[in-house]
């Protein structure tokens, strides 16, 4: 697997209210949850059940974060967020499709999740330091702290999965074999 | 005209999200394949334009990327190799009310279907052609395609083909495509915006999409570091677009050309009172 090298993620517009800011956070969680679900399907299609289950679990976790934001804001329906908003390719917690390998192991998947959570920390820290109303800065600091906690949890999880095995990507019947 | 098919209906009770444009069929592409980004972007673009899936037809030929019609909830037609544009042209002419989106790969579109590509540009029928270019025939296990670099060394072309690459944007501009752009699958949101512009622009819109093949061209994972977003500045001036292509790196993204040529519109049928009247027109 190549190193994850996604560019820094930013938003094209600074939020003026806490509700607007939380709509960005909500959108980030939605995108992350949906992407993890997609990745689970990809792994399932290639019979990599262990990683498929892991991605599905990550999708559920991000879905819970999404619901927590909605509950905190008292939203009964999704906030009005535009589809094309990120100034960088995708949201900070969204895994790049190109990072997958059909033989990848749970270790890889959790490394990607760790990277995503770390990007989310940086994303919120930038809002906390930006020229936005004090209430938005406070909410951003709180969200950054939550994401730091997620980083810690992912690292704990990583410590529980087997380390990478040498030759993890060796396939006795590789698709690229041209006979 | 696409403007009509794309118009958001203010009275519509249904608001669709991107997932509503995806079917229940799950893609079987290799994990890491760029084509996932195209499905994602296409669904987002359709949602953005508030298209009704029943008013959209996605037409394809053969190849990995040509599986896309099955993955969308709109109408679809998985045709024969290289003939996607022919099928799409026929459909659009017969049903101008539909938004027709033709999809395929570089082998299907530039080699087997190369002739159709030239004439689709020339005819300027109002439809959008999305080519997922990975510089290789992936489905058939990695042969060099028209856009493969001449020195790409592989078991099937040792030391490379030595052949100069096909230049799709140059050809599209020279043969009359009314909209020409290049996108990248690693930026699904940017790609969705390009698809929307392509569909909304009248006439034949050509969108070249750099879509890495992680199985046969794993080095293409580096493309995300090589692409240059928003490098093209849209123009309606053909000579200016042509000059810009002289310094194209192959990784420059954005809209190169957005023309104003009226799309092809078939003349309405003449009034024919009896078959004999019609036959009389063909008498030698």
Local confidence pLDDT in tens for the 284 residues of chain B: 333 233 334 444 568 989 999 999 999 999 999 999 999 999 999 999 999 999 999 999 999 999 999 999 999 999 999 999 999 999 999 999 999 999 999 999 999 999 999 999 999 999 999 999 999 999 998 999 999 999 999 989 999 999 999 999 999 999 999 999 999 999 998 999 999 999 999 999 999 999 999 999 999 999 999 999 999 999 999 999 999 999 999 999 999 999 999 999 877 666 777 888 878 888 88
Q: Does B70 touch chain A (CB under 8 A)?
A: no
CATH of residue A27: 1.20.1260.10
Domain annotation covers residue A114: yes
CB contact under 8 A, B189 and A175: no
Domain annotation covers residue B111: yes
> Chain B partners of A99 at a C-beta cutoff of 8 Å?
32
Instruction: Report the phi/psi class of residue B31: left, alpha or beta, with left for phi > 0 and alpha for psi in -120 to 50.
Output: beta
Q: Does B19 touch chain A (CB under 8 A)?
A: yes
Domain annotation covers residue A172: no
Domain annotation covers residue B80: yes
Predicted confidence at residue A15, as pLDDT, reads 85
CATH of residue B152: 3.40.50.970
CB contact under 8 A, A97 and B154: no
H-helix or E-strand spanning residue B118: helix B114-123
Domain annotation covers residue B16: no
| Closest Cα in chain A to B44 | A83
Do the Cβ atoms of B214 and A102 come closer than 8 Å? Answer: no
Domains in chain B: how many in total?
1
Question: What's the N-to-C CA distance of chain B in angstroms?
Answer: 36
Domain annotation covers residue A93: no
Chain A interface, mutation test: which of B23, B28, B31, B36, most A Cβ atoms within 10 Å?
A: B31
pLDDT in tens, A28-85: 999 999 999 999 999 999 999 999 999 999 999 999 999 999 999 999 988 876 544 6
Domain annotation covers residue A179: no
Per the structure, the complete domain to which residue B55 belongs is given by: 2-10+26-280
Predicted confidence at residue A82, as pLDDT, reads 59
Q: What is the mean pLDDT of residues A82-92?
A: 70
Predicted confidence at residue A67, as pLDDT, reads 96
What is the value of pTM for the model shown?
0.89
Domains in chain A: how many in total?
1
Q: Which long-range CB contacts under 8 A does A169-178 form with residues at least 24 apart?
A: A169/A101, A169/A103, A171/A103, A175/B30, A175/B141, A175/B215, A176/B141, A176/B142, A176/B215, A176/B216, A177/B141, A178/B141, A178/B142, A178/B154, A178/B155, A178/B156
Domain annotation covers residue B33: yes
pLDDT in tens, B96-112: 999 999 999 999 999 99
How many residue contacts between A and B have a Cβ separation below 8 Å? Answer: 85
Do the Cβ atoms of B251 and B176 come closer than 8 Å? Answer: no
Per the structure, the complete domain to which residue A150 belongs is given by: 18-73+101-160
Q: Find the CB nearest A98 among B29, B34, B190.
A: B34
CB contact under 8 A, A98 and B26: no
Predicted confidence at residue B162, as pLDDT, reads 97
Domain annotation covers residue B21: no
Instruction: Give the pair of three-digit tokens for residue B57.
Output: 């037809």
pLDDT in tens, B151-199: 999 989 999 999 999 999 999 999 999 999 999 999 998 999 999 999 9
- Given a cut of 80, whether residue A1 has pLDDT beyond it is no
Give the contacts of A177 (CB within 8 A, at least 6 positions apart). Answer: B141
Q: Which has the closest alpha carbon to A99: B211, B71, B133, B34?
A: B34
Predicted confidence at residue B119, as pLDDT, reads 98
Half-sphere exposure of B190 (CA within 13 A, CB side): 21
CB contact under 8 A, B30 and A83: no
From CA B109, how far away is CA B115, in angstroms rounded? 9
What interface predicted TM-score (ipTM) does this complex get? Answer: 0.86
Lowest mean pLDDT among A74-83, A121-130, A137-146, B207-216: A74-83
Domain annotation covers residue B239: yes
Residue B210 φ/ψ, nearest 5 degrees: -75, 115
Q: Find the CB nearest A83 among B33, B47, B155.
A: B47
Predicted confidence at residue B5, as pLDDT, reads 33
Predicted confidence at residue A177, as pLDDT, reads 58
Domain annotation covers residue A121: yes
Predicted confidence at residue B249, as pLDDT, reads 97
Cα B101 to the center of its chain, rounded Å: 7
Domain annotation covers residue B20: no
Domain annotation covers residue B15: no
Domain annotation covers residue A12: no
């Amino acid at each position: 697997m190549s190193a994850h090298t996604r560019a820094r993620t930013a938003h094209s517009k600074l939020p003026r209210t806490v509700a607007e800011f939380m709509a960005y956070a909500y959108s980030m969680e939605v995108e992350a949850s949906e992407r993890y679900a997609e990745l689970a399907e990809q792994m399932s299609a290639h019979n990599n059940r262990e990683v498929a289950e892991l991605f599905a679990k990550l999708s559920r976790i991000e879905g819970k974060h999404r619901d927590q934001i909605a509950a905190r804001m008292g939203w009964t329906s999704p906030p009005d967020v535009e589809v094309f908003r990120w100034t960088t390719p995708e949201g900070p917690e969204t895994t790049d499709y190109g990072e997958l390998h059909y033989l990848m192991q749970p270790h890889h998947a959790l490394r990607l999740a760790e990277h995503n959570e770390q990007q989310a920390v940086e994303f919120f820290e930038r809002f906390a330091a930006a020229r936005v109303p004090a209430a938005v800065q406070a909410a951003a600091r709180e969200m950054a702290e939550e994401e730091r906690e997620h980083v810690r949890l992912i690292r704990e999880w990583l410590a529980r999965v087997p380390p990478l095995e040498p030759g993890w990507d060796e396939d006795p019947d590789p698709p690229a074999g041209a006979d | 005209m696409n403007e009509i098919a794309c118009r958001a209906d203010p009275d519509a009770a249904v608001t669709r999200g991107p997932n509503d444009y995806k079917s229940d069929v799950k893609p079987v592409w290799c994990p890491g394949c760029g084509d996932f980004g195209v499905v994602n972007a296409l669904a987002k673009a359709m949602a953005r334009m508030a298209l009704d899936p029943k008013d959209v037809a996605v037409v394809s030929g053969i190849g990995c990327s040509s599986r896309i019609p099955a993955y969308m909830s709109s109408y679809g037609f998985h045709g024969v190799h290289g003939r996607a544009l022919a099928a799409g042209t026929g459909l659009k002419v017969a049903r101008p009310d539909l938004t027709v989106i033709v999809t395929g790969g570089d082998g299907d579109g530039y080699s087997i279907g190369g002739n159709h590509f030239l004439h689709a540009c020339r005819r300027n029928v109002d439809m959008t052609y999305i080519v997922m270019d990975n510089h290789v025939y992936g489905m058939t296990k990695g042969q060099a395609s028209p856009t493969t670099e001449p020195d790409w060394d592989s078991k099937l072309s040792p030391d490379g083909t030595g052949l100069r690459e096909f230049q799709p944007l140059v050809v599209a501009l020279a043969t009359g495509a009314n909209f020409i752009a290049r996108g990248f699958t690693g930026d699904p949101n940017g790609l969705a915006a390009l698809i929307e512009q392509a569909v909304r622009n009248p006439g034949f819109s050509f969108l070249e999409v750099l879509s890495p093949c992680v199985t046969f061209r794993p080095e293409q994972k580096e493309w995300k570091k090589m692409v240059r977003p928003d490098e093209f500045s849209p123009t309606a001036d053909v000579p200016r677009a042509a000059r810009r292509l002289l310094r194209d790196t192959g990784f420059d993204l954005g809209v190169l050309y957005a023309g104003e040529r009226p799309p092809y519109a078939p003349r309405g049928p003449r009034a024919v009172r009896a078959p004999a009247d019609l036959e009389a027109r063909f008498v030698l």
